C-alpha cells in the first residue's frame, strides 16, 4: 500500500483555496498510483478556527467540502480533518474529526478524544471528546487513526485519565496514522519527536504523522511531518516551514529496522539549532500574515537600534526589499550614530529610508500642552510624547498607503512594560515580541552569518530608547543578561519569587521585576498579535487578569 502525506499551508475559512490544495494533492497522488493520501487536522477549514465553529454556515461549508473531496475518491482513499456534527443531544454539538473517504463517500469518521485546553489551545470550548474508538481496514492493513493530542498522553504524569491507543491496540492495528495541528516553538520539534517515538515503542507500531505548515496569525506551524518505525526510529522527516508531499510504501515502513538515534526525555537544544529555527519561523510568520490578509507592503520605524534592525532584516527576507519601507524619525535626543547606523542598515538591505525629523512636531505638541502641564518638569510624559509622535507618523503612512506597521518591541520590554502605549507599542504585527533582548542579539548574529547586514556598531552599542539626554535602558532596567534569566524563570517556567531567589538571584531585584511584569499586564492586552516562537508567549497562550493583586 502506498501512502502519501500532504503537508500543506491552509488558510482559516478559505474553503475554496483549501479545497483546491487538497484536490491538487489528490490528483498528484493518483498520478503516482497512491492508495491513500493523508491531510492534516481540520484541514478543510484551517486550524484553529476558534469561534467560527459557532456559525452554522461555517460548519455547512466544512460539510460541503467533505462531500466535494469524497467525489475525488475514486480509486484512491483520503484521510482529512474537519469538524463533524455530534448526532447526540448530550454534549457539545461538534467533534474534531478525521474522515476516511473511499469510493466517493464517507467510509468512517474517527473523532478526537483528548482535547487540549492549555496554553494556546481551547478545543474543549467547541468539541465533544470521543469515548469510543475503532480501527479502519484498508488494503489488507488495519489502521489506528488518531488526531494530534490523542498520542500525547504518554508522559509519566499524564494529563488525561485515558489514552485512546490503549483501547485501540486491542483491535491489533498494523499502523498508526496521526493527523495533527502542532504549533511551533523553538523546542517543540524535539518534544514532538520524543512523544511520537515513545508511542511507536510502547505500541510496537509504525506511525505516519502529518502536521500543518504555515502561520495562522500568531500561531506558527512548522511542518516536520514524519514516519517512524515500530522501534521508535525515524524513517523519514518532511521539510520544515514549507509545504511538502511524500509517498511511502507501507510494507517497507513495517519492515524498516532503523533504530532510534536519541534518548527519550533528554531534550538539549543548542543555539546553533535554536536561532536558525526562530529565524525561519519569523520569516514564515510575516510572509503568511501578509499573504493571507492580502497585503504586500510593510512599514516600520528604523531607529538605529538592534530591535528595529532585526525586524527590518526579517521583513526584507519575508516580503522582498521592494515591499518594505523604513522610516527614520530622529528627535533632538537621537545620536548621530543612530541615524548613520540606520542609514547603513538600509543600504545593506537595499531598502530606501524615509527621513522625518520629529523636533518641530514635538516642540509644537509640548507648547500646546504647556498651559495644562502646570510648569511641571520634564519627565516620562515628554518621553512618551516622542514615542507617540513616531507611532502617529507610522500609522499615518500605514493608513495612507495600505501598509501593515510592523511592531519592533521585544519580549523583555513587553514583559516589564518598557514601552509606550500608542507609540512604539502600536502596529499590526509584533515580530519579535516573543524574543528576549539577549536573544535578539543572537538572532542578529545569525542574520550576519554570511556577511554583515546589521552594522557592527548596532550590535556593539548600549541599548537606548533615546528619549532623554544620554539615556540607556540600564537606567531603568537591570542588565538584560540578568533580567532575561529571571523573566524566563517566571514566564516560561512559572516559578514563584521564592523559587527564583533560591536559584541565586537577589531578592529585591526579583520582586521588583515580577511586580513590573504583573502591573504591566494592561499594556500587553493592547499589543498587536505576537508571533509565537517560545513555549510560553504573551497572547492567547498566557491569560492573566489585569486587575489582579498577585505579586503586584
Q: Angle at CA 496, nearest 5°, toward 527 and 535?
A: 50
Cβ–Cβ under 8 Å, residues 146 and 196: no
Residue 236 CA to residue 196 CA, distance in Å, equals: 13
| DSSP 8-state code for residue 91 | S
C-alpha dihedral sign at 452, 453, 458, 459: negative
Residue 409 CA to residue 524 CA, distance in Å, equals: 11
Residue 125 CA to residue 515 CA, distance in Å, equals: 32
Residue 88 CA to residue 95 CA, distance in Å, equals: 11
* Among 110, 148, 197, 426, the one annotated catalytic: 148
- How far lies 255's CA from each of 130, 228, 230, 251, 503, in Å? 32, 11, 9, 6, 49
Establish whether 112 is a catalytic residue. Answer: yes
Residue 53 CA to residue 384 CA, distance in Å, equals: 41
Residue 271, Cβ density class (10 Å: 0-12 exposed, 13-18 middle, ≥19 buried): exposed
C-alpha dihedral sign at 127, 37, 257, 265: negative
Phi, psi of 539 (to 5 degrees): 125, -140
* Among 41, 72, 128, 149, the one annotated catalytic: 41
* Among 2, 21, 112, 198, the one annotated catalytic: 112
Residue 493 C-beta-side C-alpha neighbours within 13 Å: 13
Establish whether 41 is a catalytic residue. Answer: yes
Establish whether 336 is a catalytic residue. Answer: no
Cβ–Cβ under 8 Å, residues 127 and 47: no
Q: Which residues are catalytic?
A: 41, 112, 148
Amino acid at each position: 500500500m502506498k501512502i502519501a502525506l500532504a503537508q500543506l499551508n491552509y488558510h482559516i475559512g478559505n474553503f475554496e483555496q483549501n479545497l483546491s490544495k487538497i484536490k491538487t494533492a489528490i490528483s498528484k497522488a493518483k498520478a503516482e498510483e497512491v492508495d491513500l493520501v493523508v491531510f492534516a487536522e481540520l484541514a478543510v477549514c484551517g486550524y484553529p478556527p476558534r469561534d467560527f465553529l459557532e456559525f452554522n454556515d461555517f460548519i455547512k461549508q466544512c460539510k460541503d467540502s467533505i462531500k466535494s473531496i469524497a467525489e475525488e475518491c475514486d480509486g484512491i482513499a483520503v484521510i482529512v480533518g474537519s469538524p463533524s456534527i455530534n448526532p447526540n443531544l448530550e454534549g457539545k454539538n461538534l467533534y474534531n474529526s478525521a474522515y476516511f473517504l473511499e469510493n466517493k463517500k464517507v467510509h468512517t469518521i474517527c473523532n478526537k478524544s483528548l482535547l487540549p485546553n492549555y496554553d494556546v489551545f481551547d478545543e474543549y470550548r467547541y468539541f465533544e471528546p470521543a469515548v469510543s474508538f475503532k480501527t479502519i481496514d484498508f488494503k489488507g492493513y488495519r489502521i489506528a487513526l488518531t488526531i494530534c493530542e490523542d498520542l500525547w498522553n504518554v508522559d509519566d504524569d499524564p494529563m488525561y485519565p485515558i489514552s485512546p491507543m490503549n483501547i485501540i491496540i486491542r483491535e491489533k492495528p498494523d499502523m498508526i496514522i496521526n493527523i495533527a495541528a502542532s504549533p511551533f516553538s523553538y523546542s517543540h520539534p524535539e518534544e514532538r519527536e520524543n512523544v511520537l517515538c515513545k508511542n511507536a515503542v510502547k505500541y510496537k507500531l509504525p506511525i505516519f504523522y502529518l502536521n500543518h505548515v504555515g502561520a495562522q496569525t500568531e500561531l506558527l506551524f512548522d511542518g516536520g511531518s514524519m514516519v517512524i518505525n515500530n522501534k521508535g526510529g525515524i524513517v523519514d522527516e518532511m521539510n520544515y516551514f514549507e509545504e511538502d508531499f511524500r509517498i511511502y510504501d507501507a510494507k517497507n515502513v513495517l519492515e524498516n529496522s532503523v533504530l532510534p538515534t536519541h534518548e527519550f526525555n533528554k531534550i538539549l537544544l543548542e543555539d546553533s539549532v535554536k536561532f536558525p529555527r526562530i529565524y525561519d519561523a519569523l520569516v514564515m510568520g510575516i510572509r503568511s500574515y501578509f499573504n493571507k490578509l492580502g497585503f504586500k507592503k510593510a512599514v516600520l520605524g528604523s531607529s538605529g537600534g538592534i530591535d528595529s534592525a532585526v525586524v527590518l532584516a526579517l521583513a526584507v527576507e519575508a516580503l522582498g526589499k521592494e515591499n518594505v519601507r523604513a522610516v527614520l524619525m530622529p528627535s533632538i535626543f537621537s545620536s548621530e550614530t543612530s541615524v548613520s547606523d540606520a542609514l547603513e542598515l538600509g543600504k545593506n538591505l537595499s531598502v530606501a529610508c524615509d527621513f522625518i525629523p520629529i523636533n518641530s512636531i514635538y516642540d509644537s505638541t509640548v507648547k500646546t500642552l504647556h498651559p495644562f502641564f502646570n510648569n511641571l518638569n520634564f519627565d516620562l510624559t515628554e518621553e512618551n510624547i516622542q514615542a507617540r509622535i513616531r507611532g502617529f507618523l507610522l500609522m499615518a503612512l500605514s493608513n495612507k498607503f495600505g501598509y501593515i506597521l510592523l511592531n519592533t518591541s521585544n519580549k523583555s520590554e513587553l514583559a516589564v512594560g518598557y514601552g509606550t502605549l500608542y507609540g512604539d507599542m502600536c502596529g499590526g504585527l509584533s515580530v519579535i515580541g516573543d524574543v528576549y533582548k539577549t536573544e535578539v542579539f543572537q538572532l542578529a548574529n545569525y542574520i550576519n552569518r554570511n556577511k554583515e547586514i546589521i552594522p557592527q556598531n548596532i550590535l556593539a552599542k548600549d541599548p537606548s530608547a533615546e528619549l532623554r539626554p544620554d539615556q540607556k535602558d540600564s537606567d531603568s532596567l537591570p542588565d538584560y543578561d540578568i533580567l532575561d534569566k529571571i523573566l524566563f524563570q517566571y514566564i516560561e517556567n512559572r516559578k514563584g519569587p521564592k523559587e527564583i531567589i533560591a536559584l541565586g538571584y537577589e531578592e529585591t531585584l526579583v520582586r521588583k521585576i515580577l511586580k513590573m511584569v504583573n502591573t504591566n499586564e494592561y499594556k500587553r492586552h493592547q499589543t498587536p498579535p505576537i508571533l509565537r516562537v517560545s513555549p510560553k508567549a504573551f497572547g492567547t497562550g498566557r491569560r492573566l487578569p489585569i486587575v489582579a493583586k498577585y505579586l503586584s
